[in-house]
Amino acid sequence: MELVSLAVENLTVSFPETASPVLENVNFLLHQGDFAVLCGPTGCGKTTLLRICKPELTPLCEKQGRVLFEGQDAASLSRLDSASGIGFVMQHPEQQIVTDKVWHELAFGLENMGLPIDVMNRKIAEITSYFDIEDLLDRDPATLSGGQKQLLNLASVIIMQPRLLLLDEPTAQLDPIAAAEFLHTLYRLNQDFQITILIAEHRLGDVLPLANSMLLMDRGTVVQQAEPRRILENLAHDHPVLLGMPAAVRIYHALGMNGTCPISVNDARRSLMPHLQFRPISVSETAPQTAPALSFSGVYFRYERRGRDILQDLSFSVAAGELYCLIGGNGAGKSTVLAVTSGLHRVYAGEIRIFGHRIRDYKDRSLHRNCVTLLPQDVQTVFLCNTVREELAEIDRDFSSHLRDFPFDLTPLLEQHPYDLSGGEQQIAALAKVMLTNPRLLLLDEPTKGLDAQSKRCLAEVLHGLTAQGVTVLMVTHDIEFAADHADRVGFLSRGQLVSADTPHRFFPSNAFYTTAVCRIARGFCDGAVTVDDIAEAAKQEDCS
């Protein structure tokens, strides 16, 4: 008989002063050792549901129904049982780190459990070996890369040996390689220790093949729970949730196929691609030929006088009216490029020109008057007011008319405090605020994190509308699929230098790791395909079963 790890029964949750429940009549069941993926559109209640399952993180709310952990009401657990039995990993690594040394971060939870020093030392030695982070023990967590910080968060939770692990979009700020390594570590923990895992994710390509259960949320409730393949095979070919599914699933439905639905790259290459014939892919992309809106020439920058160079002899340009996506690993210097472009930091060598003028020639904040606007990675830093309405009115009192063509419905958000919004909703509200500044050069740092696939499409509409009006967009992103679908050009930054830049159909096919899942699926079958649309347009089916 399987042990029930987590049971949610008839759960309805309402926040004070809200018109409708955030969660309504939620029911699902996880057995011990399940690896479950929680997915659904932005703002559907995923984060709230996860926090309700962790008593210490439960927000102020009115709650009906029950959350049972191993048969006991989670709200009645002792602090020790809750802290050690239920682990939680947040989307933003920095929000979970509380000490100034890696070893102390690992010891923090054990100290609060009152364990003897020799037991703590043994557990730290074990966990650092398992996670291969021994060489980080004496580091300040602030100096770690995003991937290392998130791995540290996971290790500091796992060291307390939880039986249930909840994760809220833990890979949102990780590059593709770090994200894949993080998810592989999760799977290993699930297999080695039978830890029950419930993970909310929008990036499903790497995580769904690992899962044995999928919970599909919509409008505050779980509408389906089953083995992923079973749900995906039974979806209508035009179901909106498919936009966020792995590339193999989207290809299967785009071609109207039947039978077993592939989920992973390997599945698609073995069971789907051999049954298809393809016309050659023709590449007609050309890079914009307009004058540069932004140019870097031999730029060097470091944060500390005796520290290492974050940007090293960096030279590149972004054409006026171009949507330019900058990709690369965590710590490569991408966010630093945006920081020096926006004037937050000054370079110590080289030259930056914006619309033909040296950046140092912009005086008296003229750089930020209808010229350059930055949407930072941590969008909470742009919020200063008590409601979204006040945030927008601070920039433009007539914001509603000036955002008339904004494709996101802001009405449900206007009276809410920005910090009460979901991660995706915060991203949307912050984007609306920076749009009101009417920039000529818009700098975006990870603007798709926390957004579902439909919201990403709306974001792309916004960005293409801006570039059509001559606005230049420089976007730092780990979202390879978004860059492939929508960028005019893609640049690869490594160790502070631009190593390559080209149009998506020339850039991605030759890459092994920083490439789309479609490129991996299509290699050798339909060379040059980068997106699902490429496959769908080139495919000539022989056998659809």
Q: Are residues 399 and 447 in the same domain?
A: yes
Q: Quick one: pLDDT at residue 43? A: 82
Query: For the chain, what is the domain count?
Result: 3
The string of pLDDT tens digits covering residues 92-113 is: 888 889 999 999 999 999 999 9
Q: Are residues 207 and 175 in the same domain?
A: yes
- Is 519 domain-assigned? no
- Is 450 domain-assigned? yes
* 148 within 8 A of 133, measured Cβ to Cβ: yes
Is residue 214 classed as helix, strand or coil in its secondary structure? strand
CB proximity list for 502: less than 8 A, separation 6 or greater: 287, 489, 490
The string of pLDDT tens digits covering residues 117-151 is: 999 999 999 999 999 899 999 999 988 877 888 99
DSSP 8-state secondary structure symbol assigned to residue 166: E
Cα–Cα distance measured from residue 433 to residue 406, given in angstroms and rounded to the nearest whole number: 11
DSSP string, 47-104: HHHHHHTSGGGPPS-EEEEEEEETTEEGGGS-HHHHHHHEEEE-SSGGGT--SSSHHH
Q: Identity (one letter) of the amino acid at 147?
A: G
Q: Mean pLDDT throughout 147-156?
A: 91
Q: Which of 199, 234, 269 is the last residue of a domain?
A: 234
- Is 247 domain-assigned? no
Q: Are residues 320 and 176 in the same domain?
A: no
Cα–Cα distance measured from residue 506 to residue 452, given in angstroms and rounded to the nearest whole number: 27
Q: Which pLDDT band holds residue 81 (cuts at 50, 70, 90)?
A: very high
Q: Quick one: pLDDT at residue 116? A: 94
- Is 518 domain-assigned? no
Q: Are residues 297 and 188 in the same domain?
A: no
- Domain holding 10: CATH number? 3.40.50.300
CB proximity list for 133: less than 8 A, separation 6 or greater: 102, 148, 151, 152, 155
Q: Mean pLDDT throughout 221-231?
A: 95
- β partners of residue 95: none
Domain holding 258, by residue range, is 252-283+524-541
Q: Are residues 62 and 128 in the same domain?
A: yes
The string of pLDDT tens digits covering residues 7-50 is: 999 999 998 877 789 999 999 999 999 999 999 888 889 999 99
- Is 513 domain-assigned? no
C-alpha angle with apex 401: 450 to 411, nearest 5 degrees?
Answer: 45
Q: Quick one: pLDDT at residue 141? A: 92
Lowest mean pLDDT among 58-62, 69-73, 126-130: 58-62
Q: Are residues 182 and 274 in the same domain?
A: no
Tokens of 47: 């984060």
The terminus-to-terminus CA distance of the chain in angstroms comes to 37
Q: Mean pLDDT throughout 421-450?
A: 91
- Residue 545 pLDDT more than 50? no
- Residue 543 pLDDT more than 50? no
Tokens of 515: 């490439």
Is residue 405 classed as helix, strand or coil in its secondary structure? coil
Cα–Cα distance measured from residue 218 to residue 478, given in angstroms and rounded to the nearest whole number: 26
Cα–Cα distance measured from residue 216 to residue 90, given in angstroms and rounded to the nearest whole number: 20
Cα–Cα distance measured from residue 283 to residue 75, given in angstroms and rounded to the nearest whole number: 58
CB proximity list for 289: less than 8 A, separation 6 or greater: 319
Q: Are residues 14 and 154 in the same domain?
A: yes
- Burial class of residue 389, CB neighbours in 10 A (0-12, 13-18, 19+): middle
Q: Quick one: pLDDT at residue 489? A: 96
CB proximity list for 323: less than 8 A, separation 6 or greater: 463, 464, 467, 473, 475, 486, 487, 488
CB proximity list for 35: less than 8 A, separation 6 or greater: 186, 187, 190, 196, 197, 199, 210, 211, 212, 213
φ, ψ of residue 140 to 5 degrees: the values are: -75, 125
- Is 144 domain-assigned? yes
Q: Are residues 189 and 267 in the same domain?
A: no
Tokens of 318: 């972004």
Q: Are residues 304 and 164 in the same domain?
A: no
Q: Mean pLDDT throughout 321-345?
A: 94
Q: Where are the beta strands (DSSP E) in 155-275?
A: 164-168, 196-200, 213-218, 221-226
Q: Quick one: pLDDT at residue 100? A: 92
Query: What's the pTM value of the predicted model, to 2 decimals?
Result: 0.89
Q: Are residues 86 and 191 in the same domain?
A: yes
Q: Quick one: pLDDT at residue 175? A: 87
Is residue 465 classed as helix, strand or coil in its secondary structure? helix
The string of pLDDT tens digits covering residues 365-382 is: 899 888 999 999 888 899
- Residue 306 pLDDT more than 90? no
- β partners of residue 199: 37, 167
Cα–Cα distance measured from residue 310 to residue 304, given in angstroms and rounded to the nearest whole number: 10
Beta-strand relationship, 489-494 and 472-476: unpaired
Cα–Cα distance measured from residue 294 to residue 437, given in angstroms and rounded to the nearest whole number: 19
Q: Are residues 467 and 344 in the same domain?
A: yes
Q: Quick one: pLDDT at residue 540? A: 63
Q: Quick one: pLDDT at residue 529? A: 94
DSSP 8-state secondary structure symbol assigned to residue 26: E
Cα–Cα distance measured from residue 211 to residue 213, given in angstroms and rounded to the nearest whole number: 6
Q: Are residues 535 and 407 in the same domain?
A: no
- Residue 212 pLDDT more than 80? yes
- Residue 441 pLDDT more than 90? yes
Q: Identity (one letter) of the amino acid at 131?
A: F
Torsion of CA 357, 363, 366, 368, to 10 degrees: 90
Q: Quick one: pLDDT at residue 284? A: 74
Is residue 20 classed as helix, strand or coil in its secondary structure? coil
- Is 52 domain-assigned? yes
Tokens of 503: 């149009």
Q: Quick one: pLDDT at residue 328? A: 94
- Is 517 domain-assigned? no
Q: Which pLDDT band holds residue 542 (cuts at 50, 70, 90)?
A: very low
* 390 within 8 A of 417, measured Cβ to Cβ: no
Residues recorded for the chain:
545
Q: Quick one: pLDDT at residue 282? A: 80
Cα–Cα distance measured from residue 125 to residue 134, given in angstroms and rounded to the nearest whole number: 8
To which H or E segment does residue 318 belong? strand 311-319
